[in-house]
């Protein structure tokens, strides 16, 4: 049995009932085979065994009270996966679907993504199965304070620095930061994505979406093309989706779709982002309201179809894992999609990725494509340590440079170890090599 096959079998045996985690491990191990089995140094140092076992898995009870005075209980998680190249770094997700498998897949992916940024950050992830939808501000604050009342003892500016993810934005980060400060009596950059009045970085809110579009632009430029004049399908209507749509529009693309978990809109005139921001960022409402407000738009329920049925040149899945399956991939390919960039984490199923690659569709995987968010989080950490803050343009210029650096590393590794346009292998291999070298050097 090959080294990779043995590790896969061991990981599967030890992590029964964790399909998302196995999917993420399977993709990485399969695509780094050429490198990981080319030199016995990885096997002799048990690098793959160590990489697939988190340093620490923390699970805890989060009691909180609802507006009727009832005590409620959720489960909190923080997976500190790997700190070979820097403090654990990664978001917190609040969504009813959250479980150990999902947090572990996200933490595992974060190791390679963070490595690709070139910045000193390790991999971690956390969250809870708490559902923020329909909760009052008071309920959200009570939950966040209770969550941090346990989490604070495990994190710190040089230990583990959480941030936002699904269901966690500036409001939640603010409540958590306030509680951390009360408990530790230390004012430090322990969370990123903070508000601009208390240590947040300009351009962090925009970073994931902007970074996604910058790297898709890099990928298109390599084949003599660009975003200008392209029709773009975006899924999701949250932080990543909104700012990806904004940058794609700024660069001359026309974004015609957005979605949430109940449905999606098609606006052939190009989505009006002021309306989407008002619905999602201000009113915390449903995307269906867009079609009530904008005459040119149609609304469709997610029970009958998805945004991927719309003809587009560029597809940007920005909602959640496994939202784009092989049938969606086939539809996009039939409609002559040119490029796919993953804004969400693991949004395409393995079969969908295989279909895109077989059809020679340009495909930029999540670890490279959505790394702009965590990269600007690392820049927020730098600004907090320096006790300085940089201008929007300064941060945006650094983000653009970081995304170009990720594209070059990914593209070079693809050409050296796989095929020139196999960015899935390229991103995994480039991310892996740096972390593996650091682990070997440190002996742990
Ligand atoms: P938000 O909470 O801001 O938005 C999430 C969007 O996705 C919403 O429109 C939501 O719809 C939809 N969505 C969430 N879960 C599901 C589901 N199970 N089925 C269908 N739709 C769903 O999150 P973000 O924009 O921050 O995150 C989106 C993705 O990007 C995630 O995969 C996240 O891990 C990834 N990501 C985020 C980064 C960041 O900086 N925020 C950085 C890198 C990656 P609804 O409101 O109906 O739930
Ligand atoms: O998936 C991700 O990279 C994030 N949710 C952002 C993590 C961060 O620390 O900014």
pLDDT digits (tens, 9 = 90+) for 327-343: 999 999 999 999 999 99
Q: Output the CA 69–ligand 2 centroid distance in Å.
A: 33
Distance CA 38, CA 43 (A): 10
Task: Tell me the CATH number of domain 3-192, given options 3.40.50.620, 3.40.50.10860, 3.40.50.300, 3.30.465.10.
Answer: 3.40.50.10860
pLDDT of residue 166: 98
Mutate to test the pocket of ligand 1, among 236, 283, 288, 371 (most ligand atoms within 8 A of CB): 236
Q: Please answer whether residues 112 and 431 qualify as being in contact, where contact means their C-beta atoms are separated by less than 8 angstroms.
A: yes
Pocket test for ligand 1, best of 193, 264, 320 (most atoms within 8 A of CB): 320
From the alpha carbon of 374, which atom of ligand 2 is closest? 10
Nearest ligand 1 atom, CA 95: 15
Ligand 1: residue of 140, 234, 240 to mutate (most ligand atoms within 8 A of CB) is 240
Location of each CATH 3.40.50.720 domain in the chain: 205-358
As annotated, the active-site residues are 125
The residue ranges of the chain whose pLDDT is under 70 are none
Q: Evaluate the CA torsion angle 108, 406, 189, 199 in order and state its sign.
A: negative
pLDDT the model gives residue 149 = 98
127 lines ligand 1 (CB under 6 A): no
Ligand 1 atom having least distance to the Cα of 320: 32
How remote is the CA of residue 294 from the centroid of ligand 2, in Å?
32
Angstrom distance (rounded) from CA 100 to CA 107: 10
Distance separating alpha carbons of residues 329 and 308, to the nearest angstrom: 8
- Residue 88: predicted pLDDT: 99
What's the pLDDT score for residue 5?
Answer: 97
HSE of 323 in the Cβ direction (CA atoms, 13 Å)? 28
Task: Determine the pLDDT at residue 284.
Answer: 96
Distance (angstroms) between ligand 2 centre and the Cα of 114 equals 9
pLDDT at res. 250: 98
The alpha carbon dihedral of 121, 126, 131, 135 has a sign of: negative
What was the pLDDT predicted at 315? 99
Strands 339-341 and 362-364: parallel
Res 246: pLDDT:
99
Site residues for ligand 2, CB cut-off 6 Å: 89-91, 163, 165, 192, 345, 373-374, 377
Q: Is 166 in the pocket of ligand 1 (CB under 6 A)?
A: yes
pLDDT the model gives residue 266: 98
* DSSP at 388: -
Pick the CATH number of 205-358 from 1.10.30.50, 3.30.420.40, 3.30.300.210, 3.40.50.720: 3.40.50.720
| The pLDDT value given to residue 157 | 98
Å from CA of 19 to ligand 1 middle: 19
> Distance, CA 372 to ligand 2 centroid (Å)?
9
157 to 104, 165, 384, 385: CA distances (angstroms)? 22, 19, 9, 9
Q: What residue spans in the chain does CATH classification 3.40.50.10860 cover?
A: 3-192
């Amino acid at each position: 049995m090959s080294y990779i096959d043995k590790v896969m079998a061991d990981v599967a045996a030890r992590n029964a009932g964790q399909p998302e985690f196995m999917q993420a491990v399977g993709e990485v191990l399969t695509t780094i085979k050429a490198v990981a089995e080319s030199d016995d140094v990885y096997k002799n140092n048990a690098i793959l065994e160590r990489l697939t076992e988190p340093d620490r898995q923390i699970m805890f009870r989060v009691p909180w009270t609802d507006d009727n005075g009832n005590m409620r209980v959720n489960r909190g998680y923080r997976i500190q996966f790997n700190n070979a190249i820097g403090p654990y770094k990664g978001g917190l997700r609040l969504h009813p679907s959250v479980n150990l498998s999902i947090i572990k897949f996200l933490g595992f992916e974060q190791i390679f993504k963070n490595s690709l940024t070139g910045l000193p950050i390790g991999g971690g992830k956390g969250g809870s199965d708490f559902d923020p939808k329909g909760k009052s501000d008071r309920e959200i604050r009570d939950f966040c304070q209770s969550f941090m009342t346990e989490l604070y003892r495990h994190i710190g500016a040089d230990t583990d620095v959480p941030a936002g993810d699904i269901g966690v934005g500036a409001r939640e980060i603010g409540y958590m930061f306030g509680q951390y400060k009360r408990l530790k009596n230390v004012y430090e950059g322990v969370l990123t994505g903070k508000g601009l009045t208390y240590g947040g970085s300009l351009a962090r809110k925009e970073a994931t979406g902007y970074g996604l579009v910058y790297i898709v632009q890099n990928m298109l430029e390599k084949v003599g093309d660009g975003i200008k004049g392209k029709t773009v399908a975006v899924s999701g209507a949250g932080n990543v989706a909104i700012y990806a749509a904004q940058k794609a529009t700024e660069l001359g693309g026309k974004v015609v779709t957005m979605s949430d978990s109940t449905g999606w809109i098609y606006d052939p005139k190009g989505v009006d982002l002021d309306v989407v921001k008002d619905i999602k960022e201000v009113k915390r409402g449903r995307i269906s309201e867009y079609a009530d407000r904008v005459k040119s738009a149609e609304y469709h329920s997610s029970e009958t179809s998805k945004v991927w049925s719309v003809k587009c040149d560029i597809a940007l899945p920005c909602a959640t894992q496994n939202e784009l399956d092989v049938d969606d991939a086939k539809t996009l390919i039939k409609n002559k999609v040119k490029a796919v960039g993953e804004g969400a984490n693991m949004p395409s199923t393995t079969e969908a990725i295989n279909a895109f690659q077989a059809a020679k569709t340009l495909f930029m995987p999540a670890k490279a494509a959505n790394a702009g968010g965590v990269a600007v989080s690392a820049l927020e950490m730098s600004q907090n340590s320096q006790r300085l803050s940089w201008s929007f343009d300064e941060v945006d210029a650094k983000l653009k440079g970081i995304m170009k650096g990720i594209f070059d590393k990914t593209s070079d590794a693809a050409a050296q170890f796989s095929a020139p346009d196999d960015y899935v292998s390229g991103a995994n291999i480039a991310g892996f090599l740096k972390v593996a070298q650091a682990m070997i050097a440190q002996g742990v």
